Amino acid sequence: MSQPIKMAYLYEDLMNTYGDSGDVKILRYLLNNQGYQVQVDNISLNDEFDTNEYDFVFFGGGQDFEQSIVAKDLQRHRETLQDYIEAGKPMLAICGGYQLLGDYYRMSDGTTIDGLGILPLHTIFKADSRMIGNTHVKTPWGDIRAFENHSGRTYFDEGSDLKPLGEVIEGYGNNPEDKQEGLHYKNTIGSYSHGPILRNDNIAEAIAKMIIENHQARVQALEK
């Protein structure tokens, strides 16, 4: 029997806001339609995690309280996730998950939690202006429409050459100033788009393709 496509869902029980788990369901549906079996593992607090066993990593959004718990546990996986991302394997991180890929997140109570520090970006909570509403973003795969709800403002570090996922037509995206939404680095996508984001066929199909390619490479390596 052929090997299933394996997805790691990071902290599914703690990080899942505004329909983010729909992203995993949509990918499962698209991959099933192409004849692939899909296995989704919830990687939560204290679990072992070796990214070499996975074809895709998903990290959803979360509120500050959950984020602060997750951020501590997540540090155990810093190296394996960094290797995974740098190797160009596919990952989708939404809102709170996206924030934790960066250097730090300064939360609502003023405390700062460490992110993974894999991507040169940081996030600062601004209490007086929550960014909430529908979004319309122009990406290289076409336009996407989604929903955002966050107080964290994400900024790429000074001098970094990070690229956003797209350009904001409606809504806020990373912060109110830059008119940029999310991030796209190798095959890692970070985004503030809930709703879920993958209800947009263009980006869902692009990610499904990345997953299949990564799966084929992983299975080939196993067979050697």
d(CA 120, CA 128): 26
Out of 62, 115, 166, 195, the only residue in the binding site for ligand GLN (CB under 6 A) is 62
Strands laid side by side in the 5-10 sheet: 38-43, 5-10, 56-59, 91-94, 188-191, 183-185
d(CA 61, CA 21): 10
Residue 194 annotated in active site: yes
Q: Is 189 in the site for ligand GLN (CB under 6 A)?
A: no
Shortest Å distance, C-beta 9 to ligand GLN = 15
d(CA 13, CA 197): 19
Residue 184 annotated in active site: no
Q: How far apart are the first and last CA of the chain?
A: 17
Q: Is 82 in the site for ligand GLN (CB under 6 A)?
A: no
Residues that bind ligand GLN (rule: CB under 6 A) add up to a total of 12
Backbone φ and ψ for 42, nearest 5 degrees, come out as -80, 115
Q: Is 21 in the site for ligand GLN (CB under 6 A)?
A: no
Out of 96, 166, 171, 196, the only residue in the binding site for ligand GLN (CB under 6 A) is 96
Exactly one of 77, 95, 122, 150 is catalytic; which is it? 95
Provide the β-strand partners of residue 183: 190
Task: Please say which residue, 152 or 182, places its beta carbon nearer to ligand GLN.
Answer: 152
Binding site for ligand GLN (CB under 6 A): 17, 61-64, 67, 95-96, 149-152
- Which residues are catalytically annotated? 95, 194
